[in-house]
């Protein structure tokens, strides 16, 4: 396929509710989208970088810079691109900046699926047409508030509840939730808020029958997590620590975790997500799809990758209406009363973009390069 043009946009979209983690509160999203035009088709990508470099060193602004001045021009200059799997080679001189890379790579896979007339899920090697869904619940003002939110999400059908936690919002919260909802599938995510000196404290969480404890310690660590994992019955799930297949292999080999959260942006796009998935599958380590408060574009990519065989645990992939007053795709993502998303069966992402709404929400727009003069 010939790349005819690449457009970058930043959209401002308020979240319906603030989302609080151990590193702070997000109220408004700055959503960075890439639109790639090729031979009459348009592929879309979404950058999952946050507004601040807290989850990762990347942010909306670093990604914008790298996309506009490095990755965009090198993709536009590529003579011929046939397959999403070729993109990492085109970007290999740029070190890191995986969320920025994923923005363009994922848009190319989207284009490829459209060109082939197949769903993005089947292009990626997906094997299921229904995926199980969980929700990630931010830190709330009070425990009664949290219990009310859980009640609502369970009523909506979600199959797994993940609680954001941090020192001071952990044991008493888990206790209250377990007392109220003894049988539910429950996990927690500390986003690196603890240290090895907290190991005795974290070990007491075994009493709450958690499905997993996500990223309890340093964002870049395997070694200390392997020490902590030995002291826990509960599986550790790594999120921030896993940037690629090699990291997944190191974490599995060192027994730093027993479950891996794969985020498309964090690992640099679909190619590396498939590589991490396959490495985990071969070693019997289940994976699931993480979320980054994506708009419908990123969400549709998360849905497609979740159809792969070893995405066997419910992901943080939930309905558009949990995040947005109106989503930028049509139809919006909805979840069945059984807590599942039914994959679309139309070519590409399977959700139309609401172009007018995207235009209205755009606060900056830049054309990387157009190889076609019209
Ligand atoms: O660690 O999974 C995380 C959101 C922002 C940054 C990090 C994380 C999250 C979530 C939200 O947990 C998942 C979602 O999109 O619902
Ligand atoms: Mg996480």
Whether the CB-CB separation of 335 and 157 falls below 8 Å is answered with yes
Q: Provide block-wise average pLDDT over 10 residues at a time, the chain (374 residues).
A: 94 97 94 96 98 97 97 91 96 97 98 97 98 98 98 98 97 98 98 98 98 98 98 98 98 98 98 98 98 98 98 98 97 98 96 97 89 47
- Ligand 1 close to Cβ of residue 134 (< 6 A): no
Alpha-carbon gap, residue 101 to 91, rounded angstroms: 7
pLDDT confidence of residue 79: 79
- Ligand 1 close to Cβ of residue 290 (< 6 A): yes
pLDDT confidence of residue 297: 98
Q: What's the pTM?
A: 0.96
Which are the contacts of 359, defined by CB distance < 8 A and separation ≥ 6?
none
Which residue in the block uniquely carries the two structure tokens 């810079």?
65
pLDDT confidence of residue 356: 97
pLDDT confidence of residue 285: 98
* Closest to 230 in 3D by CA, of 248, 254, 209: 254
- Ligand 1 center–CA 354 separation, angstroms: 24
- Ligand 1 close to Cβ of residue 58 (< 6 A): no
- Ligand 1 close to Cβ of residue 268 (< 6 A): no
pLDDT confidence of residue 362: 98
Question: Cα dist. 130→155, 262, 289 in Å?
Answer: 19, 18, 14
pLDDT confidence of residue 221: 98
For residue 289, give the H/E element and its range. Answer: strand 287-289
Could you confirm whether 263 is annotated as catalytic?
A: yes
Could you confirm whether 162 is annotated as catalytic?
A: no
Domain 5-117+353-367 listed as CATH 3.30.390.10: yes
Alpha-carbon gap, residue 365 to 100, rounded angstroms: 16
- Candidate from 136, 166, 296 with most ligand 1 atoms within 8 A of CB, to mutate: 136
- Ligand 1 close to Cβ of residue 20 (< 6 A): no
Alpha-carbon gap, residue 9 to 14, rounded angstroms: 16
- Ligand 2 center–CA 150 separation, angstroms: 18
| Residues within 5 Å of ion ligand 2, judged at the Cβ atom | 189, 214, 239
Query: Would you kindly state where each structural domain of the chain is located, as residue ranges?
Result: 5-117+353-367, 122-350
User: Domain 122-350 is classified in which CATH homologous superfamily?
Assistant: Enolase-like C-terminal domain (3.20.20.120)
pLDDT confidence of residue 230: 98
């Amino acid at each position: 396929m010939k790349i005819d043009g690449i457009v970058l946009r930043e959209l401002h979209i308020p979240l319906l509710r603030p989302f609080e983690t151990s590193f702070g509160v997000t109220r408004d999203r700055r959503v960075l989208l890439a639109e790639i035009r090729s031979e009459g088709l348009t592929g879309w990508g979404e950058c999952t970088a946050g507004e601040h470099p807290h989850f990762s060193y990347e942010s909306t602004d670093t990604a914008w810079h790298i996309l506009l001045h490095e990755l965009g021009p090198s993709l536009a200059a590529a003579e011929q691109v046939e397959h999403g799997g070729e993109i990492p080679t085109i970007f290999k001189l740029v070190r890191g900046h995986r969320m920025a890379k994923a923005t363009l790579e994922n848009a190319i896979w989207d284009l490829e699926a459209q060109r082939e007339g197949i769903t993005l899920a089947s292009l990626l090697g997906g094997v299921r047409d229904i995926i199980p869904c969980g929700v990630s619940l931010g830190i709330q003002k009070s425990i009664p508030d949290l219990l009310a939110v859980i009640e609502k999400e369970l009523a909506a059908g979600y199959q797994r509840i993940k609680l954001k936690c941090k020192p001071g919002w952990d044991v008493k919260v888990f206790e209250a939730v377990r007392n109220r909802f003894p049988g539910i599938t429950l996990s927690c995510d500390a986003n690196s808020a603890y240290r090895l000196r907290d190991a005795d404290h974290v070990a007491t969480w075994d009493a709450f029958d958690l499905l997993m404890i996500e990223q309890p310690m340093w964002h870049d660590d395997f070694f200390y997590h392997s020490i902590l994992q030995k002291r826990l019955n509960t599986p550790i799930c790594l999120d921030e620590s896993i940037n690629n297949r090699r990291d997944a292999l190191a974490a599995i080999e060192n027994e730093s975790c027993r479950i891996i959260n794969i985020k498309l942006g964090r690992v640099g796009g679909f190619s590396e997500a498939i590589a991490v998935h396959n490495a985990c599958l071969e070693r019997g380590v289940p994976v699931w799809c993480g979320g980054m408060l994506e708009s419908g574009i990123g969400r549709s990519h998360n849905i497609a990758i979740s159809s792969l065989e070893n995405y066997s645990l419910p992901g943080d992939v939930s309905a558009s209406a949990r995040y947005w007053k109106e989503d930028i795709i049509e139809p919006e993502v909805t979840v069945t009363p059984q807590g599942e998303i039914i994959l679309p069966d139309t070519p590409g992402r399977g959700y139309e973009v609401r172009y007018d709404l995207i235009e209205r929400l755009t606060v900056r727009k830049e054309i990387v390069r157009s190889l076609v003069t019209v």
